[in-house]
């Protein structure tokens, strides 16, 4: 966290008030109960006002993506997209796309080779992007993945929107991906996600916006979380216990998500006079929901205690904006962790934190069995 946000992280962590107004930033919320209340109250707090996600992403993705919508239109689009993320569909997609890479990972670890988990998971995320966009796996190489990741790395908490040159660069990358997605959509091939979107009744504009939103929000989160989870399991000594008792896997994943909180901050804009705890808010106020602080306040990583269960997956949001792609993310996490748990003596040979990124993560985590 500190490597990713050397100034913002200490500022957001300082003090112990549940809610406080921070000059130049907005109203900071660090209490899980109050944070959930803001997420559930879409009448007073929106994703579409000043300082909200819409300020960041509408210039890049257009006006009709889940990231920047509210109300009836948002619910209608969410219902249309819902079948894409049913457990059966995403489980099959993950098994089909990751089966060969995970067999290769297991073989290399069994042979005693060092493996950079960050590079490995980046390849898995690239495969996921390929499926979402309608690409062959070879097209989504490291260079294109890094250019996609460079879009989110432009975001700063102190800046509510991207600059015109940044918007131009982001649009160029998304247009490159969009060209492939458009071809898949127009071909009406239901083996691709854009083709399935067409079959579900989405217009081409809606489908392209949804593809862009999934690519931006989902890929870096996985590349951040899985190496951090493995480091948590190794550092805390929990890896052998989880490997021996697979009943603890879901609790370990949930606790890892609670402690790392891959999306450490959520943003909302105030649309009506209201209050968050003891702090009055007015239309136009920017609300910074410090999910990482709220989650971590409940204690250290402990799969046995499973404190995460009390949070109802707050790291994925709440209410109508609960992360639609959560089943896909969880299926990918489970698959990778299942492969790694074959090696309870896994050790970390070296690691390096990533800098200049939006999602706190490692640049490198080299493991060996």
CATH number of the domain at 146, please. Answer: 1.10.630.10
With respect to residue 2, please indicate whether it lies within any of the assigned structural domains.
no
With respect to residue 251, please indicate whether it lies within any of the assigned structural domains.
yes
Instruction: Count the helices and strands in the chain (H runs, E runs).
Output: 14, 10
With respect to residue 216, please indicate whether it lies within any of the assigned structural domains.
yes
3 state DSSP class of 84: helix
Residue 188 is given by DSSP the state T
- Examine the pLDDT at 20 and tell me if it is beyond 70: yes
d(CA 193, CA 369): 36
pLDDT category of residue 140 using cuts at 50, 70 and 90: low
With respect to residue 213, please indicate whether it lies within any of the assigned structural domains.
yes
> How many residues can be counted in the chain?
369
What mean pLDDT is reported for the chain?
89
Specify the pLDDT at position 12. 77
With respect to residue 284, please indicate whether it lies within any of the assigned structural domains.
yes
Specify the pLDDT at position 317. 92
Domain residue limits at 312:
8-368
d(CA 118, CA 223): 6
- Examine the pLDDT at 338 and tell me if it is beyond 90: yes
d(CA 350, CA 364): 8
Residue 16 has a CB neighbour count (10 Å cut-off) of 9
Report in angstroms the alpha-carbon separations of 195 from 39, 260, 270, 306, 332: 32, 35, 37, 40, 22
Q: Does residue 144 contact residue 12 with C-beta atoms inside 8 Å?
A: no
With respect to residue 3, please indicate whether it lies within any of the assigned structural domains.
no
Total domains, the chain: 1
Give the DSSP H or E segment for 99: helix 87-110
With respect to residue 1, please indicate whether it lies within any of the assigned structural domains.
no
Specify the pLDDT at position 207. 87
pTM, to two decimals: 0.90
Specify the pLDDT at position 138. 63
Task: Give the bridge partners for 257, in sequence order.
Answer: none
- Examine the pLDDT at 120 and tell me if it is beyond 90: yes
With respect to residue 252, please indicate whether it lies within any of the assigned structural domains.
yes
d(CA 3, CA 354): 7
pLDDT category of residue 134 using cuts at 50, 70 and 90: confident
pLDDT in tens, 286-321: 999 999 999 998 999 999 999 999 999 999 999 988
């Amino acid at each position: 966290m500190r490597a990713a946000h050397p100034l913002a992280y200490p500022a957001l962590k300082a003090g112990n008030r549940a809610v406080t107004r921070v000059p130049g930033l907005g109203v900071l919320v660090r209490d899980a109960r109050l944070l959930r209340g803001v997420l559930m109250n879409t009448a007073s707090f929106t994703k579409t006002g000043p300082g909200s996600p819409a300020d960041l992403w509408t210039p890049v993705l257009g006006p009709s993506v889940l990231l920047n919508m509210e109300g009836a239109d948002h619910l209608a689009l969410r219902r249309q997209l819902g079948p894409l993320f049913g457990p059966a569909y995403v489980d099959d997609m993950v098994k089909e796309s990751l089966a060969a890479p995970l067999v290769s990972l297991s073989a290399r670890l069994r042979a005693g080779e060092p493996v950079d988990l960050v590079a490995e998971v980046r390849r898995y995320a690239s495969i996921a992007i390929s499926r979402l966009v309608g690409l062959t796996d070879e097209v989504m190489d490291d260079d294109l993945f890094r250019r996609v990741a460079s879009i989110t790395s432009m975001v700063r908490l102190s800046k509510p929107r991207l600059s015109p040159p940044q918007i131009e660069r982001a649009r160029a990358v998304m247009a490159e991906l969009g060209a492939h997605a458009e071809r898949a959509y127009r071909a009406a091939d239901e083996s691709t996600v854009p083709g399935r979107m067409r079959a579900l009744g989405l217009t081409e504009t809606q489908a392209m916006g949804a593809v862009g939103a999934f690519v931006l929000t989902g890929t870096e989160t996985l590349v951040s979380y899985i190496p951090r989870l493995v480091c948590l399991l190794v550092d805390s000594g929990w890896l052998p216990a989880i490997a021996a008792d697979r009943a603890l896997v879901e609790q370990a994943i949930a606790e890892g998500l609670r402690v790392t909180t891959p999306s450490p901050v959520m943003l909302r804009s105030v649309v009506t006079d209201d209050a968050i705890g003891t702090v009055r808010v007015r239309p136009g106020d920017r609300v910074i929901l410090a999910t990482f602080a709220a989650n971590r306040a409940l204690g250290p990583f402990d799969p046995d205690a499973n404190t995460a269960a009390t949070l109802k997956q707050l790291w994925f949001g709440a209410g109508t904006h609960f992360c639609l792609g959560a089943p896909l993310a969880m299926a990918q996490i489970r698959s990778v962790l299942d492969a790694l748990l074959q090696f309870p003596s896994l050790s970390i040979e070296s690691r390096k934190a990533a800098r200049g990124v939006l999602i706190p993560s490692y640049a490198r985590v080299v493991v060996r069995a």
